A and B are shown apart, each in its own frame.
Chain A
């Protein structure tokens, strides 16, 4: 089991599903290094300094976004945005960082990386990507993917994604992830070569398993319900928040009209004129203050959105469990029926209906030699089946253990991050109130001097 920091000599195969035990196990050896704070540009990054040795060695940032044009798979011209990923390694004890890698990636490559991680780490709650298209927008924000504000927020979201992966005790060691950060050319081919798409469970199979599984671990069933609820409540919250933002914008902006009219009116007033004019100015200040306020709120909304998308990641883990459990149940069922067949053949009783039984009746009994042969085959199959069942069982148990460990880690992360987000929301509201008090106090003074 690897303990050293990113090892270029690592095998080119994707990391196998190794029984990893406690997530922190591999990290202890590197605790000696000085902990380097992560670049705090994405939301919810406060926790990332713990439990990760990537960040103790490197800093990752998505520092720029650039519009590009190129040809797509169908040789048609398209415009897309490319993001610059910079990796800095912290070489010296004094914390100086050196730029080690810098390359450009587009959103679809991030998606590819994530899909790969989903296949190879089904027991991990894989961090989500920021949304592909702008949703839950209030009217002032553009839903256009090329809009600079959207691109900026996406840049932050992508950086956050990378930091989350890099701070995950298991995901951070993945070779493909390492290459994503370091190998610009040919990376896509490398990923595809792993053949991960083939390894992916078909949606249909998964759906089937969900319906038919008899004895899933109750915790996963509960987790599934939780993730459904989480998704539903956060979407609802984001929708209403967007509407509230819209209305708040309206209230503030209409006040701006006072400014103009007061100013025009002040022209005909002798005593009231000055008061009107200066009050009008404050109304303008009030009206324009909403833009910054709502921009800050967008960041809050993005923090919530991340956990909205995390709900899907949770569900993916549950689905995998159901699939494995179903597989196990089917294998056990199959084994049981083979055993029964064997028994019947051995004792000569036909208790169950079988094709063999029918043909025997119709075409005459088989010879003892034939029967022996069949029993032998069955016994072999049974042996194999028992082996398989044993290993499936063990796999299943390992999966549950590991998955649950990651889920516990996730839960703590979620509670911490969301609590911080809610607190930051309160801080934003406080700041908005203070600004309001100041503006209106100034305005009141002007009015009272009229």
Chain B
């Protein structure tokens, strides 16, 4: 079951209209073969010239805006900006803005859980309104991810934050945990929004816009539990067969994924450890400064110097705190997301392999003439298409993913380095100013007692 993309895609040559969030010039699923970057851009332009609907939709939106209780203040400028930008072939367009915030605790007789508020602002025609506000819980996110995986088995779906944190989390609703999760969920949805194909997924739209009861009824419409189980059984059976021959490029990809996964996990551990050490250093430093103050109370001549040292230590302490928070905000979440991504990637490889295995098994059946050859040949034909689609989808998405990964890692580590530089610069300034104050005094005193 391929994800059916909505109107814009169907209308045009199947490419996403407006270049919504498509960062990579790479081509797009589910179209086989064609999409080169220039083709994509060209199509966008063609799209708009041919089609009046888009413009109409926008104007429809404009009138709807007033009546819609969901959008108190949809700024018109993004709309017109988007209009303009479309003609200017801007690749980094966003017409879907999502925020995740306001975690709230809900208590029922059966359970306690947290919901997050999700605000969506959009200028897309297929959305009934330009602003939506809904509440979702983790389970809902999990559902969305599973649906996306089903719809696009060989696309790299963004990872969800873990269900539980294994170590030391007694309370599920610890503030830090909730905040970390909220940020990760925000990232998750935005990554989907930025993905050239996933952004148009129907379930995604429902997730963003439907009211609670609407969502539950929509969930029930999907393939039933039994059929899902059936798929899983088949998948396991296939994976047990093993992959006969993975094409070369996918061997390379698999190799990369394995090593990358190892390394990113190590980096995750190292980074967490650094945070822990910095925290413990900070805790000790907090005690260090005040001792000098205590000492200064029993001294006369030394009092100023001691107080000066105490003040420097305290300032460095604050700088350490800032460094720590920088680490936990910039580096740790990024590295952790890629740990989850690496697990995701292994899943994608598996699914690709399964699709190929399906084909392989039918081919084998054909050669051993076990069943009706005509039927088999037809099935094989379909499966070959399926395999080709899957492979191309993965290839394209792989390039996009690698590019993003490089950018994200580069930027995360550059930020970390910057934090450290800033930390040391602050401490340096503190100690240097202390030193000058002391040597100035020294010179004054020195001139007094020259015998």
List the A residue with the shortest CB-CB distance to B265: A261
A-chain residues with CB within 8 Å of residue B417 when the two chains form the complex: 440-441, 443-444, 447
Whether the pair A444, B259 counts as a contact (CB closer than 8 A) is no
How far apart are the CA atoms of A261 and B141 in the complex, in Å?
Answer: 33
B-chain residues with CB within 8 Å of residue A272 when the two chains form the complex: 406, 409-410
Whether the pair B260, A444 counts as a contact (CB closer than 8 A) is no
How far apart are the CA atoms of A30 and B439 in the complex, in Å?
Answer: 32
B 222-258 contacts with A by CB, 8 A = 255-256
Whether the pair B431, A429 counts as a contact (CB closer than 8 A) is yes
Q: A261-B263, A422-B306, A426-B312 are in contact. Are A254 and B421 (CB under 8 A)?
A: no
- Residue B309, interface by CB 8 Å: yes
B128 to chain A, nearest CB (A): 43
Number of interface residues of B (CB under 8 A): 53
Binds B, one of A120-128, A210-218, A431-439: A431-439
Whether the pair A251, B427 counts as a contact (CB closer than 8 A) is no
- Residue B280, interface by CB 8 Å: yes
Interface of A is mostly: helix
Binds A, one of B91-99, B152-160, B169-177, B283-291: B283-291
Whether the pair A261, B270 counts as a contact (CB closer than 8 A) is yes
A-chain residues with CB within 8 Å of residue B438 when the two chains form the complex: 419, 423, 426
A-chain residues with CB within 8 Å of residue B256 when the two chains form the complex: 268
Whether the pair B291, A229 counts as a contact (CB closer than 8 A) is no
Bitwise, B427-440 to A at CB < 8 A (1) or not (0) is 11001101100110
B-chain residues with CB within 8 Å of residue A241 when the two chains form the complex: 288
How far apart are the CA atoms of A265 and B305 in the complex, in Å?
Answer: 48
- Residue B273, interface by CB 8 Å: yes
- Residue A330, interface by CB 8 Å: no
List the B residue with the shortest CB-CB distance to A264: B263
B-chain residues with CB within 8 Å of residue A447 when the two chains form the complex: 410, 413-414, 417
A-chain residues with CB within 8 Å of residue B421 when the two chains form the complex: 436-437, 440-441, 444
Q: A437-B421, A440-B420, A440-B424 are in contact. Are A415 and B277 (CB under 8 A)?
A: no
List the A residue with the shortest CB-CB distance to B264: A265
Whether the pair B305, A247 counts as a contact (CB closer than 8 A) is no
- Residue A279, interface by CB 8 Å: yes
Tell me how many residue pairs across A and B have CB atoms closer than 8 Å: 141
B-chain residues with CB within 8 Å of residue A83 when the two chains form the complex: none
Whether the pair B305, A436 counts as a contact (CB closer than 8 A) is no
Binds B, one of A55-63, A111-119, A230-238, A365-373: A230-238
A284 to chain B, nearest CB (A): 13
- Residue B294, interface by CB 8 Å: yes
B266 to chain A, nearest CB (A): 5
Whether the pair A433, B414 counts as a contact (CB closer than 8 A) is no
How far apart are the CA atoms of A426 and B310 in the complex, in Å?
Answer: 11
Whether the pair B425, A450 counts as a contact (CB closer than 8 A) is no
List the B residue with the shortest CB-CB distance to A267: B259
Whether the pair B267, A426 counts as a contact (CB closer than 8 A) is no
How far apart are the CA atoms of A233 and B296 in the complex, in Å?
Answer: 10
Whether the pair B431, A419 counts as a contact (CB closer than 8 A) is no
How far apart are the CA atoms of A257 and B271 in the complex, in Å?
Answer: 10
Bitwise, A382-416 to B at CB < 8 A (1) or not (0) is 00000000000000000000000000000000010
- Residue B274, interface by CB 8 Å: yes
- Residue A98, interface by CB 8 Å: no
Bitwise, A266-280 to B at CB < 8 A (1) or not (0) is 011001100100010
How far apart are the CA atoms of A50 and B255 in the complex, in Å?
Answer: 73
- Residue A136, interface by CB 8 Å: no
- Residue B34, interface by CB 8 Å: no
- Residue A336, interface by CB 8 Å: no
How far apart are the CA atoms of A135 and B335 in the complex, in Å?
Answer: 41
Q: Which of A246, A261, A426 contacts B266 (CB 8 A)?
A: A261
Beyond the given pairs A244-B284, A268-B259, 6 more chain A to chain B contacts, judged by CB atoms under 8 angstroms and listed by A's residue number, are A236-B291, A244-B281, A250-B281, A437-B424, A440-B420, A450-B406
- Could you list some 27 contacts between A and B, CB below 8 A? A50-B451, A226-B298, A230-B298, A233-B294, A234-B295, A236-B291, A237-B291, A240-B288, A244-B284, A246-B284, A247-B280, A251-B277, A251-B278, A257-B273, A265-B267, A279-B413, A419-B302, A419-B305, A422-B305, A423-B439, A425-B309, A430-B428, A436-B420, A437-B424, A437-B425, A441-B417, A448-B414
